[in-house]
Structure 1
Amino acid sequence: MDAALLAAAAPARPGERVLEAGCGVGGVLTQIAARRPGVSLTGVERYPVAAGLAVENAALNGISDRMEVLNADIAGGFAALDRPRFDWAISNPPFFDDETTLRAPASAKRGAWIADDGLAVWTRFLTDGVRDGGRIVVIHRADRLADLLALLGERCGSFAIRPVQPYADQPAKRVLVHAIRSGKAPLRLLPALVLHDRSGAKHTSEAEAILRGEADLGW
């Protein structure tokens, strides 16, 4: 679900370049490729097996000519990639900085849950990775919103925040945060995306359209 929402929240235009920090096996990038013809994609993934699978997934989906996967650690910084800055930088960072705050995840999933160097390393990589006026999109736990705004706010502005709620009468568990490097516009709190209702359908009609690639989460 998080990967699908992140892909829907990056409406890049033909000719633009999108960078994903922590791309895993390429789930987000392949979805963006399907949604956005003419967009160039670069993923950064520190685990060699996952990076290799992302390369295979690009080939299976016929997008190897516009999807690049770099086996690198974001802790090394964006400059180490030796790439020009991007139009978009997106990420679904690990949700926790301290593994004592939750039951220890399986070793194979630890990297997806624990940010060894903290959330600041991820936000720094994203802000370094986009040009002035470039866009950053992050999906994260709702209770980390203040941290995201503080960290991204060091060099970004023009924030737009979209809460993601399980049901209309329940608090948001996720937030999608959009920021512009060097942006100066006031913060906007957008209508929440509600995933489920009480009708018995799997998803609300809005969520279903997004998950099927029939709608985007625009800003």
Structure 2
Amino acid sequence: MTLADIEPLTQDEFLGGRLRVWQPRRGYRAGVDPVLLAASVTASAGQSVLELGCGVGVASLCLAARVPGLTLTGVEMQADYAELARRNALENDLPLTVVASDLRQLPHDLRQKRFSHVMMNPPYFNRQAGTASEDIGRDTALGGDTPLADWVDTGARRLAPKGYIWVIQRMERLPETLALLDGRLGSVVVRPIAGRDGRSPERFLLCARQEGRAAFQIAPTLIMHEGPSHQGDTESYTADMRKVLRNGASLPIRP
């Protein structure tokens, strides 16, 4: 029995309809963040990309739609979500190999591989400091029981020499993330993400490089919406955001 047999699904459009993705109607549902993560990755044809915690495959498939010729692998602990990721890749005719595994216990063959890029959207909330959701899929995606240190460690170990790691995370976890990278990966660039101009950033995109030697950088804040506040039901994304979300444009985070 699969998730589709026990949980209603919706088929949602991403990248202005270029992707149609099945995901559970309830529980964790992919939104803007995996699209932003994929847009930030500077992969090129012929390179390999590993996504840790790929869910139903949105980030990997957005990246595949923008950059043809990649070798993409996704790891997802929840077998039902992994199966949906495989289905989404097949139905969108995009190359994505999905491995159902705990990222702390990767299969032997995957532990032997190194990747040009590793991207991840780790759970935003510290399980030790929060309350579990009643929905297992949502709880795993937003809190989970895998410490952020394990995500970073696994990602760093899978990087090829001079490879890049890409992360999207909540702003309050930036100090923790930087501490985990210290002495291990370099050339760190952080791009804060704010809902509107003048508001404090709530999330950040981060890039770091194996063997990187460049100084730490803070890139200009990415502003999601126009205007000082939400105005009714009209879409208020900035022009740059619309290019990313609707047209599949890239989103460089390095100045």
- The answer to whether the superposition gives a TM-score over 0.5 is yes
Deviations along 1:89-134, one digit per CA (max 9) or x if unpaired, are 0000011222542463523311101131310000001101111200
SS of the residue corresponding to residue 12 of structure 1 reads: coil
Report the AA paired with residue 181 of structure 1. Q
Q: How many residue pairs end up in the alignment? A: 217
Partner residue, 1:23:
54
The answer as to 2:42 corresponding to 1:8 is: no
- Answer whether contact 1:8 1:210 (CA < 8 A) is retained: yes
Aligned equivalents of 2:88 and 2:42: distance in 1? 21
1:217 paired with 2:246, answer: no
Q: Secondary structure at the match of 1:166?
A: strand
Runs of 4+ residues over 3 Å off in structure 1: 77-80, 102-105
Name the stretch that deviates more: 184-193 or 103-112: 103-112
Give yes or no for contact 1:95–1:115 (8 Å, CA) kept in 2. Answer: no
CA distance in 1, matches of 2:108, 2:245: 34
Q: Which residue of 1 aligns with 2:15?
A: none
Assess if the C-alpha contact under 8 Å between 1:78 and 1:129 holds in 2: no
TM-score (norm 1): 0.93
- Pick closer, same or farther for the CA change 1:142–1:152 going to 2, 3 Å: same
Indicate whether 1:203 and 2:234 are aligned: no
CA distance in structure 1 between the partners assigned to 2:108 and 2:132 by the alignment: 35
Q: 1:79 to 1:129 in 2, by over 3 A?
A: farther
- Are 1:61 and 2:61 counterparts? no
1:157 aligned residue (167, 186, 190): 186
Matched-pair contact (CA < 8 Å) for 1:19–1:42: yes
Matching of residues 1-219 of structure 1 within 5 Å: 1-63=32-94, 66-77=95-106, 81-98=110-127, 100-102=129-131, 104=133, 106-198=135-227, 201-218=235-252, 219=254
| Bigger Rg, which one | 2
Instruction: Specify whether residues 214 and 26 from structure 1 end up closer, same or farther in structure 2 by C-alpha distance, changes over 3 A only.
Output: closer
C-alpha separation in 1, matches of 2:247 and 2:163: 24
Structure 1 residues 39 and 87: alpha-carbon distance in aligned structure 2, compared to 1, 3 A threshold: same
| Offset from partner CA, 1:22-61 (integer Å, 9 cap, x none) | 0011011111110001111000001111111111111101
Tell me, which stretches of 5 or more residues in structure 2 are unaligned? 1-31
- Give the fraction of aligned pairs with identical amino acids, expressed as a percent: 34
Please give the secondary structure, in 2, of the residue aligned with 1:115.
coil
95-104 vs 7-16, greater mean Cα deviation: 95-104
Distance 1:78 1:172 in 2: 37
Q: Name the structure 1 match of 2:5.
A: none
Q: Is the 8 A contact 1:78 1:125 kept in 2?
A: no
Q: Distance in 2 between matches of 1:2 and 1:105?
A: 22
State the TM-score, normalizing by the size of structure 2. 0.80
Task: Write the distance in 2 (CA, Å) between the matches of 1:105 and 1:169.
Answer: 35
Q: Which ranges of structure 1 fall in alignment gaps of 5 or more residues? A: none
Inter-CA distance 160–105: structure 2 relative to 1 (3 Å threshold): farther
Q: Distance in 1 between matches of 2:93 and 2:49?
A: 18
